[in-house]
Amino acid sequence: MNPCELTASVTAIANAIASRLCDDDLSVLAAVLVQLGDTLATIAAQRAICGK
Task: Pick the closest to residue 43 from 31, 34, 52 (CA basis).
Answer: 52
Residue numbers of the domain that contains 30: 22-52
- Quick check: is 32 in a domain? yes
As a residue count, the chain comes to: 52
Distance CA 26, CA 13 (A): 13
- Quick check: is 48 in a domain? yes
User: Are 29 and 21 a contacting pair, CB within 8 Å?
Assistant: yes
**pLDDT beyond 90 at 39:** yes
User: Are 17 and 29 a contacting pair, CB within 8 Å?
Assistant: yes
- Quick check: is 8 in a domain? no
**Res. 51 pLDDT band, cuts 50 70 90:** confident
Q: How many domains does the chain have?
A: 1
**Res. 1 pLDDT band, cuts 50 70 90:** confident
- Quick check: is 36 in a domain? yes
Q: Write down the pLDDT at residue 13.
A: 98
- Quick check: is 34 in a domain? yes
Q: Write down the pLDDT at residue 48.
A: 95
- Quick check: is 6 in a domain? no
Q: Write down the pLDDT at residue 10.
A: 97
Dihedrals phi, psi of 17, to nearest 5 degrees: -65, -45
Q: Write down the pLDDT at residue 52.
A: 65
